[in-house]
Structure 1
């Protein structure tokens, strides 16, 4: 296995260190709430902006496109910044995009605002994970990165239901004002708590690009882009699977989302722990587990008693996120910032691929339960890519160092 990047642990008290991690997790919470809010706000957006459901889909796609484009672009553009100023700059851009979203008067301005707000998403997640790993002893970095990623899963559990409630009870615009407010608080906490290491060597954009363009990095990103697609396949179509296959009423859909969120929270913690213990093999373990739970979901979706536990098990696939983030830190060399940011571009590719494959299968006449086996096929493909990545890494580092 490759050596992990040098870890310098600043002299932080235990309380100070915990507050820094909470500030980073708060950023994950706010951005996760913003990312998935339009799904729960779909009826409010269609009524408030006088647009169709398909146009809300375009708004969601605009955000994903912003993530894919913005992650590498901003990672290179801001490469010479130290990590603390970079985090603050990325958060400031996200606040501006959130305010623009809350004020958007119509469809076209909303599409532009959501594209802009997606731009800093991947770079912030990547740099925040690097910061968490840097201030943590090497043997604990997986657990700590998983804890920071738990802010994203808390967004699924609490943030998105709150955003949906605000949209239904008052106005969808308040949901995005809420996101902007939480991000301003995050900026204040990071500015106050996170040490600014002025001895930190700024990244060199050309060196990052050269180090990035290597097989281990691209294979790691491919694992996320393909192997993670199954989770999004099930999550995107969980509602019709619950109502049209399991036979549950629509009032059960929020419980399905909560079940998925609980599983995702557990998975985020487990992924970091698994990587601390097993390194690259942890990714194969997670992909194997994903294959099993996705196949099980295809069977359990037919039962009103089993579909919710099955949704929770699919949510545990979130373990892939911190594990793959840490693997990229190990193989990226001088491309730490760029690779960490592009990890989230890969996951957004998976977010597009999974629903597309599942939708094609249903359009061909299959039941909604097919999303489980379709997702399992992507996990199996991810295992194949992992096998190739492991062979490349063993060839490059035959003695494990």
Structure 2
């Protein structure tokens, strides 16, 4: 078995890990399904698509705000208690979304829905690492991120289908119900352990004094943006560029998610074995996949092959990022995990904006792929400059970083 615990039976360990991944899945489904539900709640509330997209933006802002604020405010809280509280917030926010009667309440509800995501990822990564052991930290991070990738494969298309069948309000009500199940799983299956205890606020904040942490956040916000540049325009790439029928769009999204899920497993193993090799190999390979995709996007078969290939190579790199951030700031692992998720949402905004800029400039939908490639290339160039400082920090510790500056 890939995960073992010295303090629990195998079945108890697996149930605890499942509860963490399930919570990650539920929270992420609320994010990804909303993209498919946007036309439905726009129509239901009498909004234009542009007005309704403010709800998507509000979610991302919620993640960016909630990741550092909630993590720092709840620094002293036991991580098990913190996870339960975040899931309860997810229940309330999804219920509020389901009863929204206008844009104002919808935006507030989606902002509240985004608040738990970053903090949940950070706390769940710390708890998963405690359960499986520090030497399997990469696998622990990949496990929590696995819930996110499954949300892209299953949660988004199924949530959209439910919205089309039962209405968008029913879809969000069901998401709230899933969050109730995730809360129950956490209560019953996540053990009470002394190593889940919180720390001091000053301890969490001290990590923000390190330049390498900010460097990693900038790097992540740029290098991962290619995924969202492509993801945002999958629909028109499938239907207008490749000429496939509309029903292939959710299949294409599921293919991206499948590639991400497999890459996440491989990336978790590489993150445990190597310091940065998985990161460099993964993102370099992503550049190649993006170039091939952009050049062959008009060929339906090639597009459907390259979408999961891109998802796979990118996720091979990703688990290394939060794991190394936690090693750079071992006294604040929860905040590092939360900030990593916030950086992903910044990448979402950057990727979508860059792709939109080139498409609206008249360069066609494949230009969004080239825009994503440029962002990942810029991120890798920044990493090359940052790498010596990262290695020095990891080799010599925090004091050495400042002594050499």
- Which bracket does the TM-score occupy, shorter chain normalised? over 0.9
Matched, 1:363 2:351: no
Aligned to 1:226: 222
SS at match of 1:306: helix
In the alignment, the residues of structure 2 paired with residue 200 and residue 126 of structure 1 have an alpha-carbon distance, to the nearest angstrom, of 12
In the other structure, the counterpart of 1:165 is 161
| Number of matched pairs | 394
The higher relative CO (CA closer than 8 Å, separation ≥ 6) is in 1
1:393: which partner in 2?
390
Q: Distance in 2 between matches of 1:124 and 1:29?
A: 11
Matched, 1:300 2:310: no
1:198-242 residue CA offsets vs partner (Å, 9 max, x unmatched)? 465531112211222202211221221000000100011111112
* Equivalent residue number for residue 186 of structure 1: 182
Report the TM-score when normalising by structure 1. Answer: 0.94
Q: Does 1:14 align with 2:20?
A: no
Structure 1 unaligned regions, length at least 5: 1-7
- Partner residue, 2:85: 89
> Is 1:375 the counterpart of 2:372 in the alignment?
yes
Superposition TM-score, scaled by structure 2 size: 0.93
Sort the Cα spacing of 1:276 and 1:199 in 2 relative to 1 into closer, same or farther, 3 A: closer
Q: Kindly state the Cα deviation for residue 397 of structure 1 after the two structures are TM-superposed.
A: 4.8
How far the C-alpha of 1:62 sits from its partner, in A, is: 0.4
Counterpart among 314, 321, 324 of residue 321 in structure 2: 324
Of 93, 103, 109 in structure 1, the residue corresponding to residue 105 of structure 2 is 109
In 2, the alpha carbon distance for the partners of 1:200 and 1:46 equals 42
Match of 1:125 in 2: 121
- Alpha-carbon RMSD across the aligned residues, in angstroms, is 1.9
CA contact (8 A) 2:41 2:52 kept: yes
Question: Structure 1's 312 and 366: CA in aligned 2 closer, same or farther, altered over 3 A?
Answer: same
SS in structure 2 at match of 1:305: helix
What is the correspondence of 1:214-363 to structure 2 with a 5 Å cutoff? 214-316=210-312, 317-363=314-360
Give distance in 1, aligned partners of 2:269 and 2:45: 44
- Shift of the 397–17 alpha-carbon distance from structure 1 to 2, 3 Å rule, reads closer
Contact kept? 2:89, 2:116, Cα under 8 Å: yes
Aligned mates of 2:107, 2:100 — CA distance in 1: 9
Cα contact 2:281–2:317 (8 A) shared by 1: no
Deviation at 1:354, TM superposition (A): 0.4
C-alpha distance in 2 between matches for 1:93 and 1:173 = 18
Structure 2: gaps spanning 5 or more residues: 399-405
Q: Report deviation, 1:169.
A: 1.1
- Give a deviation string over 1:160-194, Cα, whole Å, max 9, x none: 11111111111111111111111111111111122
Deviation of 1:148 after TM superposition, in Å, equals 2.8
| Cα drift, residue 141 of structure 1 | 2.7
Q: How many angstroms apart in 1 are the aligned matches of 2:392 and 2:262?
A: 34
Which has the larger displacement, 286-295 or 195-204?
195-204
| 1:152 aligns to 2:148 (yes or no) | yes
* Higher alpha-carbon deviation: 62-71 or 152-161: 152-161
Cα offset, 1:318, TM superposition? 2.9
* Contact map agreement 2:328 2:394 (CA 8 A) in 1: no
SS of the residue corresponding to residue 279 of structure 1 reads: coil
**CA shift for structure 1 position 251:** 2.2
